[in-house]
Structures are given as structure tokens and as C-alpha cells.
Amino acid sequence: MKARIEELRENLAKVEEQIQGALRLASRNREEVTLVVVTKTYPVEDLLALYELGVRNFGENRDQEGSLKAPQLPSDTHWHFQGQIQSRKIPSLVQWADSIHSLDSLEHAAKFEKLPNSEKLNYFVQINLEEGADHRGGVSVNEVGSFLESCTLPITGAMVVAPLGSDPVVAFSKVKKIADEHGLKEISMGMSGDFEAALVAGATHIRVGSSILGSRSLLA
């Protein structure tokens, strides 16, 4: 049986090759893009192996999981939270997360702001492209402006999950346009199935899980 680290090495190399290819198409530089490896549901041994392979940016969806894993890795790692934010978990999130990709509520923003050290985090506003349904969270497109105006936290980025069944190219260009309109320099978009389209559209952060770690047995 192949060692897990070899499997991860190969998967990472494949994803890296796809990243380079998409960036070449778009005449963009590799330094403009952060690959966040989404490690939700995977054991800390996998994260340590990924660290060995050079990964420094890890993504988690649950406070419970991230708060246990983050202290077990060396301190030169950057932790991204992209799950649904629960108000009571915010004090814990501030302890281990470096970037919050899924901010979509002014109440949550106010709660972050009251906590010491919350100014050290980077914040992305999550945009919801699904009209009517908002089960994946996010601020609807026509409310992004007022959200940013009222938000007292410094928001540097926009994040999106392309709606199921939508054309990701259309979704990602829309988000790129919104980000540009509001001067948001960072754009977190693209997952295993659509990160190349996201890179061509201008993503600065891609969040890739299953292409690197394998498919998850449980939905997280």
C-alpha cells in the first residue's frame, strides 16, 4: 500500500499543475494566489504530512475541529475558517483562525470587533448568489454595499461558493466585478471542481479539499 504522504504529494502536485495551467491562461503570477487546503474531517496526521510537503494554509469549517487541530501544527501556519459562523463560537474562532471567509452578519462582525486580537484577523464577506435560497449563507448581491458601509470590521475580501447547477464562470466573474466595485482586493472562490475557472476569473484564494485529501465520507 502506498504511504499516505506519497498519495498527498501526488495529489498536491496535480492540483499545483492545474493551478499553473489556469494562471498561464490568465497571464497571472503564482504569487498572487493562496492555495488553502481544506482539511475538514481529515485527521491531524494528514495535516502534519501536508505541512511536511510545504502546505502552510489550512481551511476548516467547524470551530470544534479547527480549535483542536491548529495547536498541533507549527506556528508558521495560517488558518482559514470558511464554515457557517455561530455567534457563541466567535470567541473561540478568534483564538485559532487567521482569516474568516464566511462573514455574513453585522451582529457577528460587532461581536468579533469587541474581542481582543480580532484586529489581527483578515475578513472576507461571503456573497450569496442564490436568489431566494440562502442555505449556504452569505450576503445577497444587492445588500453587499450596505453591509460594507455598516460593517465596522475592516473587510479585505469577498468569498463565494458557486451555486449548485450554476455556470461557475458566470458566478465567479460576477463576484470579481462586485469585489472590484467595492475595492475588495482578495477574492476567495473555487473548490475542487471549479478552481481553475475561479483562477481565470481572478481568485486570490482557492479552497481545495477533496482533490488533495480524497472524497469525504461525511458531509461537513
Ligand X SMILES: *Cc1c(COP(=O)(O)O)cnc(C)c1O
Least gap, CB of 11 to ligand X (angstroms): 11
Count of residues engaged in binding ligand X, rule: CB under 6 A: 13
Which range in 3-11, 139-147, 177-185, 191-199 contacts ligand X by CB under 6 A? 191-199
Residue 67 in contact with ligand X, rule: CB under 6 A: no
Q: According to the binding rule CB under 6 A, does residue 128 interact with ligand X? A: no
Hey, how many other C-beta atoms are within 10 angstroms of the C-beta on 151? 19
Which bin fits 42, alpha (ψ -120 to 50), beta or left (φ > 0)?
Answer: beta
The nearest distance, CB 96 to ligand X, in angstroms, is 17
H-helix or E-strand containing 159? strand 155-160
The CA–CA distances, whole Å, from 62 to 90, 92, 154 equal: 11, 11, 23
Which CB atom, from 145 or from 193, has the smaller least distance to ligand X? Answer: 193
Quote the DSSP letter at residue 135.
T
Q: What is the CA radius of gyration of the chain?
A: 17
Which residue of the chain is nearest ligand X when measured via CB? Answer: 209
Which residue type occupies 44? V
Which part of the chain contacts ligand X (CB under 6 A), choosing from 2-10, 112-120, 170-178, 204-212? 204-212
Interface residue with ligand X, options 77, 105, 156, 192 (CB under 6 A): 192
Could you tell me which stretch among 66-74, 144-152, 165-173, 187-195 binds ligand X (CB under 6 A)? 187-195
Give yes or no for residue 23 binding ligand X (CB under 6 A). Answer: no
What is the C-alpha separation between 194 and 86, in angstroms, rounded?
27
Restricted to residues 35-54, the positions that interact with ligand X (CB under 6 A) are: 38, 40
- Burial of residue 34, with CB atoms counted within 10 A of its CB: 0-12 exposed, 13-18 middle, 19 or more buried: middle
**Selected range binding ligand X among 21-29, 85-93, 170-178, 201-209, rule: CB under 6 A:** 201-209
Interface residue with ligand X, options 89, 111, 176, 207 (CB under 6 A): 207
We find the least distance from the C-beta atom of residue 116 to ligand X, in angstroms, to be: 27
Read out DSSP for 74-126? -TT-EEEE-S---GGGHHHHHHH-SEEEEE--HHHHHHHHHSTTGGGSEEEEE
Kindly state whether residue 61 participates in binding ligand X, applying the rule CB under 6 A.
yes
List residues binding ligand X (CB under 6 A).
38, 40, 61, 82, 161, 191-193, 207-211
